[in-house]
Chain A
């Protein structure tokens, strides 16, 4: 694991990438991407054992990650590129014609690092469970990770998967919920409240850990460590991670407005001015 200050420096760069990518095509989802930056930076730079230089679909002997809330592709692409899955310069093709960096991630264009298409919500937990079972069948001691939006938990398939994973003791799997409380139409609480999420997962038979500061690198790493301690203990693990949509850019926080809108030229400048100290821009 790189030290905290190195990871924070990388997170700063990833945030710059996210903003520049969505600005360039005037579309995409910066809010959730900014909110999950610490999570993905930590996951791919110390938490997971993985092989960016030699990507294989089967990923034998590697920990695997599935992004279920595919719309936060900007953060996913930036983190993948910056740990070596594909050239960093390719980030400039995001959402453009003939690109491997589709609006939502896909295996269809063979982008290294992506193992499933996502975008239509609620499917990634089932896929992650399948991959976790495959690991067990192959006697591969690796861990499966997945990330889900909190709004995404309104999809019924999530709860089909939650029942299955607990009933079948899928305990080599850590799901994380990006608990930012916001979705396209407003606050999750108002659109369709999830009620007591921790109690729900516990009632479904999951081991719940909480990360209360999902935009604090040290806290995120601690959250991973807490979750990993429960691997192999007979229960699927969920990490309920509180984040701030738009984290790192003052005017993008405290609102759901930046879920799926890109900054204009002036807003981009204002945002990048808040993210100085690293300038390895593509």
Chain B
């Protein structure tokens, strides 16, 4: 098992803020909109550096999405910012018609996704956003795993022509990917080559997959670990190649089992080379108040859950 280390834990939303600030300096067409969550989304730096390109829309997310769609006409590249729940479920029809169907170059940037939002509870802990967004034709869906990768992804999507959903979160997590990485949309990142099982993880679950890989190595199980930061378009070739070797797969995501990364992987495999699969995801349930760690444990999204899923799936080969 390849050794991964980190010097500090950082929040992915700060990676977004840093990336946006960098874009502000390098790309004069980038504009940003926020629905009264500038501090939470770490958009303050951009706001301070480029007040003429920052638009505070107040608590009016539907209007924010519409304005963003309009801003693209004339060549602007709008980045909208609010919590993942208000970025997707609240404004689904606005995104569907004014952004996706209209083919507008809007970057929907969503923080506080999933259970790790924590104490605010289930009203804010959206676990359906990946599903909602990946169902929209031509919507690109990205869920990076740490600060450095979120920063790199933020910078990369400005050069991608078309609508993007960029998902990140609130808590600090190990910042282990290289600061100088090139973010390639749609390209899986191979974290560890193995032979017994493929673990495909996204977002905050990637570090847990690495931890699981270390524990599995102690049990003599060789896990291939893949970081899928882009859920759509999915890196089909990388997944098929890996599962052709390992013959079984575990997917791990901070999302509902229905409609998430696991579904996309299952669909790909069933159409090509069916293989046993286990899902580490929230099983048809809302979340609740609690600390991020407590919630991840209670809802089965911990390192141990990945280890157990691997043991189970290997027996099904």
Contacts and interface: CB of A to CB of B under 8 A. Distances in A.
B126 to A, nearest CB: 20
A67 interface: no
Interface stretch (A11-19, A38-46, A58-66, A90-98): A58-66
Contacts of A107: 101-103
A59 B58 contact: no
Interface string A108-130: 10000001111110111111111
Interface stretch (B13-21, B49-57, B110-118, B149-157): B49-57
Contacts of B97: 117-120, 123
Nearest to A104: B97
A58 B102 contact: no
Given A64-B73, A164-B58, A126 B98 contact: yes
B70 A128 contact: yes
A106 B74 contact: no
A108 B74 contact: no
Interface stretch (B60-68, B140-148, B234-242): B60-68
Contacts of A131: 70-71, 73-74
Nearest to B137: A108
Contacts of B63: 126, 129, 157, 160-161, 164
A129 B64 CA distance: 10
Contacts of B55: 133, 168
Contact of B74 (A122, A123, A140, A157): A140
A60 B74 contact: yes
A117 B31 CA distance: 22
Nearest to A140: B74
B94 A133 contact: no
B71 A130 contact: yes
A87 B123 CA distance: 51
B73 A134 contact: yes
A69 B37 CA distance: 31
Interface of B is mostly: helix
A131 B74 CA distance: 7
Contacts of A134: 70-76
Nearest to A170: B67
A57 interface: yes
Nearest to A60: B74
Contact of A123 (B52, B60, B94): B94
A125 B224 CA distance: 50
B101 A58 contact: no
Contact of B102 (A59, A64, A106, A125): A106
Contacts of B67: 126-127, 129-130, 133, 161, 164
A130 B66 contact: yes
B62 A108 contact: no
Interface of B: 31, 52-53, 55, 57-58, 60, 62-76, 78, 93-94, 96-98, 101-104
Interface of A: 57-60, 64, 66, 106-108, 115-120, 122-135, 137-138, 140, 156-157, 160-161, 163-164, 168
5 nearest A-B pairs in the assembled complex, by CB-CB distance? A130-B70, A126-B66, A134-B74, A160-B63, A160-B60
25 contacts: A60-B74, A108-B101, A108-B103, A116-B73, A116-B98, A117-B98, A117-B101, A120-B96, A120-B97, A123-B66, A123-B98, A126-B70, A127-B66, A130-B66, A130-B67, A133-B71, A134-B71, A134-B72, A134-B73, A134-B75, A135-B74, A137-B52, A137-B53, A164-B60, A164-B67
